[in-house]
């Protein structure tokens, strides 16, 4: 079964079990329903936990799991307060039935917002960006850093290149960019300029040294296969007094 069928089906089973517990007085039926609810609970919990562990790259796995646990546990805590109020004012059966309806409604949303199949994503670290060639010697906290990448793309590849770069843009933002855009030169339509901003020089070096994955590399290779020649890369820093003084010192002034 696909992930969507497992999560959606288990949610419906759990909702049906809640409704049975609320509305049926037969002990055997309730015991059977609760057993099914336990299986459904474990199906979702184990499946989602395993998916998170396998999907998240090593560099962000701890933070990703922390956000997941906060959402998971926080959702239970918030819902517990709501169900308690419903039970207080309308009875336990009403609280269980409303929870069952909400679960079924949540399962139905998979039709519009399915979970994506990540089995084909290679999350192994990939260090493939060339080391930046700089005359300045920035401090780790210097920033924000503006990175520009200039491409030459033939007219017949332009549309496909823009589509491929949308995936590259998502990769940039996943690995640390706080902004990303792709521009086209009005005077020379074959020239495209990718611009992304990273909060600090240290943050950008982390992109170079371990945040990128094998899947990120494939996305970039797909886009660069549509270009002519090698891209031109620039690293731009805020033009403040300190950076101007460093440049003057390195020129021997």
Q: Please give the pLDDT value at position 252.
A: 58
Does residue 70 sit in the same domain as residue 165? Answer: no
Instruction: Report if residue 123 sits inside a domain.
Output: no
| Alpha-carbon distance values, 38 to 42, 48, 117, 201, 209 (Å) | 6, 15, 25, 49, 44
**Co-location of 158 and 68 in the same domain:** no
In this structure, is residue 220 part of a structural domain?
Answer: yes
Domain containing 246 equals 145-250
- pTM for this model (two decimals): 0.72
Mean pLDDT of 45-73: 88
pLDDT over 60 (residue 175): yes
For the chain, give the DSSP string.
--HHHHHHHHHHHHHHHHHHHHH---HHHHHHHHHHHHHHHHHHHHHHHHHHHHHS-GGGHHHHHHHHHHHHHHHHHHHHHHHHHHHHHH-HHHHHHHHHHHHHHHHHGGGTSPPP--TT---SB---SPPP--SS---TT---EEEEEEEEB-GGGHHHHHHHHHHHHHHHHHTTEEEEEEEE-SS-TTEEEEEEEES-HHHHHHIIIII-BHHHHHHHHHHHTTBSSPPEEEEE----HHHHHHHHHHTT-
pLDDT at 239: 82
Question: Which residues are paired to 194 by β-bridges?
Answer: 149, 182
Residue 140 lies in a domain: no
What's the domain count of the chain? 2
Q: In sequence order, which residues have a C-beta less than 8 Å from that of residue 247 and are 6 or more positions away?
A: 135, 136
Residue 242 has pLDDT above 80, yes or no: no
82-106 tens-digit pLDDT: 989 999 999 999 999 999 999 899 8
Do 165 and 79 share a structural domain? no
- pLDDT-based confidence at residue 18 (cuts at 50, 70, 90): very high
pLDDT at 13 over 70: yes
pLDDT at 247: 56
* Same domain? 96 vs 186: no
Q: Is 187 a member of any domain?
A: yes
Mean pLDDT of 5-26: 91
Same domain, 149 and 107: no
Confidence class of residue 249 from pLDDT cuts 50, 70 and 90? low
Q: What CATH code is carried by the domain that includes residue 186?
A: 3.30.70.100
Cα angle: 228, vertex 234, 238; to 5 degrees: 155
- 100/153 same-domain check: no
What average pLDDT score do residues 49-70 get?
Answer: 88
| 122 inside domain | no
The pLDDT score that the predictor gives to residue 59 is 87
**Interatomic CA distance for residues 156 and 165, integer angstroms:** 16
Q: What is the pLDDT, as a whole number, of residue 117?
A: 72
Is residue 38 pLDDT above 90, yes or no? Answer: yes
166-200 per-residue burial string, b: 16 or more CB within 10 A, e: under 16: eebbebbeebbbeebebeeeeeeeeebbbbbbbeb
Q: How far apart are CA 232 and CA 234, in angstroms?
A: 7
Q: Is residue 227 part of a domain?
A: yes
Q: Taking a C-beta distance cutoff of 8 angstroms, is the pair 62, 214 a contact?
A: no
Q: What is the pLDDT of residue 47?
A: 86
pLDDT of residue 131: 87
């Amino acid at each position: 079964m696909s992930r969507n069928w497992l999560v959606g089906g288990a949610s419906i089973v759990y909702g049906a079990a809640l409704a049975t517990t609320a509305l049926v007085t037969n002990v055997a039926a309730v015991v059977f329903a609760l057993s099914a609810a336990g299986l459904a609970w474990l199906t979702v919990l184990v499946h989602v936990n395993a998916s998170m562990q396998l999907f998240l790259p090593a560099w962000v796995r701890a933070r990703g799991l922390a956000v997941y646990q906060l959402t998971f546990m926080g959702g239970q805590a918030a819902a517990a307060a709501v169900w308690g109020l419903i039970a207080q004012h309308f009875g336990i059966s009403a609280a269980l039935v409303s929870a069952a309806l909400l679960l079924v409604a949540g399962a139905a949303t998979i039709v519009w917002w399915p979970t994506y199949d990540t089995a084909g994503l290679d999350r192994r670290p990939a260090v493939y960006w060339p080391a930046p060639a700089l005359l300045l010697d920035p401090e780790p906290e210097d920033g924000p850093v503006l990175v520009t990448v200039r491409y030459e793309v033939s007219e017949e590849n332009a549309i496909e290149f823009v589509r491929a770069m949308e995936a590259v843009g998502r990769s940039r933002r996943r690995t640390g960019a706080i902004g990303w855009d792709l521009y086209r030169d009005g005077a020379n339509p074959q020239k495209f300029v990718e611009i992304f901003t990273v909060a600090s020089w240290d943050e950008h070096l982390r992109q170079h040294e371990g945040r990128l994955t094998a899947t990120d590399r494939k996305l970039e290779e797909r886009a660069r296969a549509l270009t002519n020649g090698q891209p031109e890369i620039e690293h731009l820093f805020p033009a403040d007094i300190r950076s101007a003084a460093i440049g003057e010192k390195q020129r021997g002034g």
